[in-house]
């Protein structure tokens, strides 16, 4: 009897040890998508591209926000972090100043756009420096994907910000968005769409090009706090999943893109400025969006000082978009 009890105690001890080891070795992967319009202090294109007199300083602010989020994620238990440089040309973050134990996605185009690298192995997504969508009258630099050419982007009939589109891409892989930072308008817009996720308000929008802002160090500390709170609640936050197939409606500010895209048999022209594409899932929709915003028969390596994504600046516009009467050269994503 005593021998049996000893064996039982030994077995329980071994099972507890194995359980503890498995729990300690469990991976927690976090994906961070970082834009720039919602970064602390950023209010105009003077901070958003190389031609702006404050761009280099704003790159520092953006990098420090990402660094704060990464460090907080690891402190909260993350075992792996991937960061996407998702603004402009995707080459804004000062990589030598980022923690050495992350990986970084840079430059465009990408099949999954601002979410390249996400897959089902991740546990949570964080959006940093985001801004409101193009149909929202509130928010600093409000637009969806391209303020130069797009007037609306809808998924299954609902107008979307970039946060909404990107949350749906993450949701395809069953990964929830757990936290967002930016101005008060994007936090309000995104929590209304995704539910009670964590939000770090680093500035309060007065208009498209004006805001009341925190100081950088205060913003970094707020982001650290919100990241830790978000990871602490990660199991309680659900992915944002769309019913499939996914209907994408895109409204251009000019009519020629919709006219020419309607030549494709997979595209329906729904009015003078709008097209519709139905994808089997968000992966197809993402690839289609990147295609219509990037493709040109003259695609070739370019030497350029522009910070814009290929679809966001008039110089280097895809031939389709360049056919519009738009002449602005200062519009960023």
Q: Specify the domain boundaries for CATH 3.30.1360 within the chain.
A: 246-322
Q: Which of 30, 107, 24 is nearest to 70 (CA)?
A: 30
**Residues 109, 37: Cα–Cα separation, whole Å:** 19
**Residues 171, 164: Cα–Cα separation, whole Å:** 10
Contact at 8 Å (CB) between 85 and 113?
A: no
Contact at 8 Å (CB) between 60 and 94?
A: yes
**pLDDT given for residue 147 in this prediction:** 84
Find the catalytic residue in 143, 172, 209, 273.
143
- Report whether the peptide linkage leading into residue 109 is cis, meaning its omega lies within 30 degrees of zero: yes
Is 131 tagged catalytic? no
Residue 320 is encoded by which pair of tokens? 């389709």
**pLDDT given for residue 333 in this prediction:** 57
Fold (CATH) for 27-147+161-236: Rossmann fold (3.40.50)
Map residue 232 onto helix, strand or coil.
helix
Instruction: Determine the longest span between alpha carbons in the chain, in angstroms.
Output: 91
Output the CA angle 36-40-46, nearest 5 degrees.
Answer: 60
pLDDT of the chain, 333 residues: tens digit per residue? 555 555 555 555 555 544 544 444 689 999 999 999 999 999 999 999 999 999 999 999 999 999 999 999 999 999 999 999 999 999 999 999 999 999 999 999 999 999 999 999 999 999 999 999 999 999 999 999 998 899 999 999 999 999 999 999 999 999 999 999 999 999 999 999 999 999 999 999 999 999 999 999 999 999 999 999 999 999 999 999 999 999 999 999 999 999 999 999 999 999 999 999 999 999 999 999 999 999 988 877 655 544 444 444 433 335 455 444 433 333 445
Map residue 213 onto helix, strand or coil.
strand
Q: Specify the domain boundaries for CATH 3.40.50.10780 within the chain.
A: 27-147+161-236
* Host H or E run for residue 257: helix 256-261
Span 246-322: which CATH code? 3.30.1360
Residue 94 is encoded by which pair of tokens? 């000062």
DSSP code for 9: H
Residue 280 is encoded by which pair of tokens? 């089997």
């Amino acid at each position: 009897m005593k021998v049996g009890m000893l064996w039982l105690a030994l077995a329980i001890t071994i099972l507890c040890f194995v359980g503890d080891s498995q729990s300690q070795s469990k991976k927690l992967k976090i994906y961070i998508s970082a834009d720039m319009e919602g970064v602390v202090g950023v209010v105009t294109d003077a901070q958003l591209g190389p031609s702006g007199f404050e761009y280099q300083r704003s790159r520092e602010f953006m990098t420090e926000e990402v660094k704060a989020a990464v460090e907080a994620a690891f402190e909260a238990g993350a075992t792996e972090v991937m960061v996407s440089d998702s603004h402009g040309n995707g080459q804004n973050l000062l990589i030598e100043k980022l923690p050495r134990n992350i990986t970084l996605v840079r430059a465009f185009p990408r099949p999954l756009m601002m979410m390249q690298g996400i897959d089902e192995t991740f546990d949570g997504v964080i959006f940093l420096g985001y801004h409101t969508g193009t149909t929202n009258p509130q928010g600093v630099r409000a637009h969806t994907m391209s303020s130069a050419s797009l007037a609306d982007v809808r998924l299954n009939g609902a107008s979307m910000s970039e946060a909404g589109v990107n949350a749906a891409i993450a949701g395809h892989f069953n990964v929830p968005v757990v936290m967002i930072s930016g101005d008060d308008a994007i936090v309000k817009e995104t929590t209304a769409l995704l539910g009670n996720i964590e939000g770090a308000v680093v500035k309060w929008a007065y208009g498209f090009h004006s805001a009341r802002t925190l100081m950088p160090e205060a913003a970094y500390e707020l982001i650290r706090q919100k990241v830790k709170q978000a990871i602490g609640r990660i199991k309680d936050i659900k992915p944002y999943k769309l019913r499939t197939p996914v209907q994408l409606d895109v409204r251009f500010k000019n009519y020629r893109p919709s006219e020419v895209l309607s030549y494709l048999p997979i595209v329906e022209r729904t009015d003078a400025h709008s097209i519709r594409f139905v994808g089997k899932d968000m992966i197809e929709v993402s690839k289609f969006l990147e295609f219509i915003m990037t493709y040109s028969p003259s695609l070739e390596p370019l030497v350029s000082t522009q910070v814009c994504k290929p679809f966001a600046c008039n110089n280097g516009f895809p031939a389709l978009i360049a056919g519009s009467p738009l002449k602005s050269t200062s519009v960023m994503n």
